[in-house]
Amino acid sequence: MHLSTVFKFTSTLLATQAQAYLHSGFAFKPSTVGLQRAQLVRSMLHVILCLLISELLDAKIDPLPLPFNFNTSNSEIAHASNSWWISSFVHGDNNHQYMILSHVLATGAYSIYRGSIYDITEPDFVQFTTTTTDSGLLDNSQNGGFNITTNDFFFGSSLPGNATEQLRTASTNSDVQFDITFDLSAPVIFNTGNGGLFQFGIDQTGEWSMPAGSTTGSLVHKGKTISIDTDHSFTWYDRQWNIGAPASLNWTWFQLHVSSHHLESPRLLSIWSYDSNDVGHRQWATTQSTPGVSNVMPVKAYEPFGPNWVSPNSNNTYSQSWEIVLQDNTRLTVKSTHEDQELRSDTFVTYEGFVTVTGVGPNGEPVSGYGLVEIQPPI
């Protein structure tokens, strides 16, 4: 049976489950397992408990032979392009769910900062992208520091002297306003395994992700200030740097949160597919089913299908649906829920779209979920 036939059957079988997700909302739940044991200490009442269980919660990062200093990795990496990125999946006090994106990319020649808000409940999308050549933008993000500030944007640490415990990002741009603080309260995913280092075209990149941090704050949408329900919201934080600016390269990246009745917590997937004029095509997944335990595997099949969307602003063409098969026989159908989720400026354009997921897990069990797709046109 052809792969597309298998997926058509599976998609039909699980369509009711997917519609149930869309009508009932998504289960956004932060992780409190802890990036490091110190991050579980939120008041003096917790100190004794944390001391008693410190051996069980000992840092999941400290024992690893990382090729970089994790505690200073939120600072600018020298001789590299640097990226700091979040997607926050939040439940508002107006009973709407939103995906909020905030991103800074510094290439050396120029930098961009940008943000977007997507209303999942009643689809609506707003965005902005600002390009700057300010040579001092990263002056306060050196030697363990992390503070990127402009006249209408902030991304950095909210705790002096500590850039890996609690972060904040805020925008007062006329089109997109939010103020989000999140804890690095979930075990890190090191993409492709220990250290998160992998070949990205002809260059080497490093990427680590904190997938489900506890989140507080607010956003403004359609003129109304909306408070975030912390118990039903979380932030995925992605830190990446590339030795050199990516060139002759295009990619699609998925961040997926997949649930089934077999799993106590969602299975987390970071899936990459890229094409490079220099090294050809690469596709792989880094997954985490047990907090702090990651698996790396090839993507056996990756097939966009169905109608594309052509942006009237950039004229770029973006796939809207994908069929993905992992090495462990996980089979997923991923679909964007809204065509126009493009962040754009004259210098930098990407698609950052909310997606839904249906399919089967490695043991044939039905799975469903949500996430984000990032599509970078050729650069």
Give me the mean pLDDT over the 36-42 stretch: 38
Does residue 43 have a pLDDT over 60?
no
58-72, 113-127, 259-273, 325-339: range with lowest mean pLDDT? 58-72
Of 7-16, 56-65, 257-266, minimum mean pLDDT range: 7-16
- Whether 56 shows a pLDDT value over 90: the answer reads no
Stretch 270-287: mean pLDDT, rounded? Answer: 94
Rg, the chain, Cα only? 20
Q: Which of the pair, 13 or 257, is modelled with greater confidence?
A: 257
pLDDT at res. 265: 87
Q: What is the mean pLDDT of residues 88-94?
A: 98
pLDDT at 127: 98
Q: What is the mean pLDDT of residues 113-130?
A: 98
Least confident segment among 131-140, 193-202, 243-252, 334-343: 243-252
Residue 1 has pLDDT above 80, yes or no: no
| Distance (Å) of CA 149 to CA 104, 109, 245 | 11, 18, 22
Residue 177 CB contacts under 8 Å (≥ 6 apart), including other chains: 171, 219, 220
In this predicted structure, the answer to whether residue 195 has a pLDDT above a threshold of 80 is yes
Average pLDDT over residues 110-138: 97
Q: Which residues contact 273 (CB under 8 A, 6 or more apart)?
A: 251, 252, 253, 281, 282, 283, 299, 302
| pLDDT category of residue 263 using cuts at 50, 70 and 90 | confident
Whether pLDDT at 17 is above 80: no
| Average pLDDT of the residues in 41-55 | 40
Share of the chain above pLDDT 70, in %: 85
Q: Indicate whether 12 pLDDT > 80.
A: no
Give the pLDDT of residue 247.
66
Query: And the tokens for 53?
Result: 């269980």
**Topology, domain 3-376:** AttH-like fold (2.40.370)
- Is pLDDT at 50 greater than 50 in this prediction? no
| DSSP H or E segment with residue 356 | strand 349-360
pLDDT at 262: 80
Average pLDDT, the chain: 88
Angstrom distance (rounded) from CA 83 to CA 197? 14
Give the pair of three-digit tokens for residue 236: 């995925």
Q: Is the confidence at residue 53, as pLDDT, over 80?
A: no
Amino acid at 57: L
For range 44-66, the mean pLDDT: 51
> Which pLDDT does position 24 carry in this prediction?
55
Cβ contacts of 184 within 8 Å, gap of 6 or more: 35, 39, 164, 165, 166, 167, 210, 213, 237
Task: Note the pLDDT of residue 248.
Answer: 67
Percent with pLDDT over 90 in the chain: 73
Query: Is the pLDDT higher at 263 or at 6?
Result: 263
Residue appearing with tokens 């046109």: 377
For residue 51, pLDDT over 50 is answered with no
- Using alpha carbons, list the distances in angstroms from residue 254 to 189, 230, 251, 263, 370: 14, 24, 10, 20, 10
Q: Is the pLDDT of residue 9 over 90?
A: no
140 pLDDT higher than 90: yes
Q: pLDDT, tens digit, for every residue of 286-305?
A: 999 988 899 999 999 999 99
Whether 35 and 182 have beta carbons less than 8 Å apart is answered as no
How high is the pLDDT of residue 231?
A: 97
Sign, CA dihedral 249-255-261-265, equals: positive
pLDDT band at 208, cuts 50/70/90?
Answer: very high
